[in-house]
Amino acid sequence: MAARHTLCNVFSAFIDNLRLVERQLLDGDTSRGDSADFDRQAFWDRLGTSVQAVSAEVTKLSMVFSKPPVPPVEHCEQIIGRVEKATLMMVSAFYSLPKSQGLRLRRSIRNAVIEVVQSVIGLGQVLNTQSLGSPDQLKSTACVWQCTDSFSSLPKDNRELVLTLLGDTASLVKDAADELQEAVDSGLEDDFGDSSNEQILAEDNSNKWSDHDKALVKACLGLTKVCQSVLKKSSEAVRRNGHCDSDANIAQFDDLADQVERLSPQVDELASNLYPPINDRVAEENSQKLAENLKSCLLFLRKSHVTTEDDAQWVDFLLTAGQHNLDKIFAATKDG
């Protein structure tokens, strides 16, 4: 009984220490001072090695507690200590990444580090409170493995991160636009029941688009297509011309990410309010927000390092297209 009590104290101290680390990660973004001799490859090698060490030490810990008897407290304390040490090494490796390498990149890695720390805490809690080899122990161990395995797919620099964001955003915008286009093509009636409801639908025309509504929806769809083109051309430009070879270029990727991440929610907001009954004023406001952000994004791209003189033509074309579709939307609401 005394040994079990002592082991519980060891686990409690282990969990408390990692809780403190978790809190520091969640509350702040402390990093070392920027260094001109920062080696990106060395950073990733160090981080990868420490993450693998966490996975390996957690595996050993879980195996020790997989079946009776529990090893002596001193042995358990050593194993738990190695898990804590590996976890702290991982956190230390993260903190060695200068902010000049990209705020978005740091956020991405920090979130992954936090997930690992939280999963290790979860395993410690299970081992401290449940029977050896419990289903929750296996589940918690697998959670740590999953979190550590995710590091292999993390973007390695701000350019790669923005390319991932552009791709994800383009997919979300396409889904929203396709859903609305499908409703337009089907006439929308299918979305509101079967033929047994014909009398109800006939009496409640609020569930159908009027000719005015259809013109407005088609104009809004035009603006979402401009958004899709902006995302596609932006991705091509970043892939072709983007570089993380200077602090200024890296910072531009952070700014571009801020622009891009607003697009999908704005398209969703626009599309979700285009189902009958349509409020013209809401449609105007949502379309204007989207158009203004598209314009801001294009103007930023034109001044950034990811576009060249050869890109000026498509940037200007999409600026014109965005304004043209916005004008069509306002014209459609006035016709109502």
Report how far apart the first and last C-alpha atoms of the chain are (Å, whole number). 80
Q: Six-digit token pair at 9?
A: 């104290």
Question: CA–CA separation, 278 vs 256, rounded Å?
Answer: 32
Residue range(s) defining the domain that contains residue 25: 2-152
Residue 129 has pLDDT above 60, yes or no: yes
User: Do 147 and 28 reside in the same domain of the chain?
Assistant: yes
User: Do 146 and 171 reside in the same domain of the chain?
Assistant: no
Residue 140 belongs to domain with CATH number? 1.20.1420.10
Q: What is the pTM of this model?
A: 0.87
Quick one: average pLDDT of 212-241? 96
Which residue is it, tokens 């016709």?
A: 335
Please identify, among 119, 152, 185, the residue that sits at the C-terminal boundary of a domain.
152
pLDDT, position 32? 57
Which residue is it, tokens 């680390």?
A: 21
User: Do 104 and 178 reside in the same domain of the chain?
Assistant: no
Determine the residue type at 271: A
List pLDDT tens digits, range 284-315: 999 999 999 999 999 999 999 999 999 999 99
User: Do 125 and 236 reside in the same domain of the chain?
Assistant: no
Q: If pLDDT is split at 50, 70 and 90, which confidence band does 223 have?
A: very high
Contacts of 89 (CB under 8 A, 6+ apart): 50, 53
User: Do 178 and 129 reside in the same domain of the chain?
Assistant: no
Please identify, among 117, 152, 187, the residue that sits at the C-terminal boundary of a domain.
152
List pLDDT tens digits, range 33-65: 565 688 999 999 999 999 999 999 999 999 999
Residue 193 has pLDDT above 70, yes or no: no
User: Do 169 and 294 reside in the same domain of the chain?
Assistant: yes
Share the mean pLDDT of the chain. Answer: 91
- Total domain count, the chain: 2
Residue 263 belongs to domain with CATH number? 1.20.1410.10
User: Do 76 and 171 reside in the same domain of the chain?
Assistant: no
pLDDT, position 199? 45
pLDDT, position 4? 62
Please identify, among 121, 152, 183, the residue that sits at the C-terminal boundary of a domain.
152
Quick one: average pLDDT of 68-76? 87
Q: If pLDDT is split at 50, 70 and 90, which confidence band does 133 have?
A: confident
User: In this structure, how many other beta carbons lie within 10 angstroms of the beta carbon of residue 237?
Assistant: 22
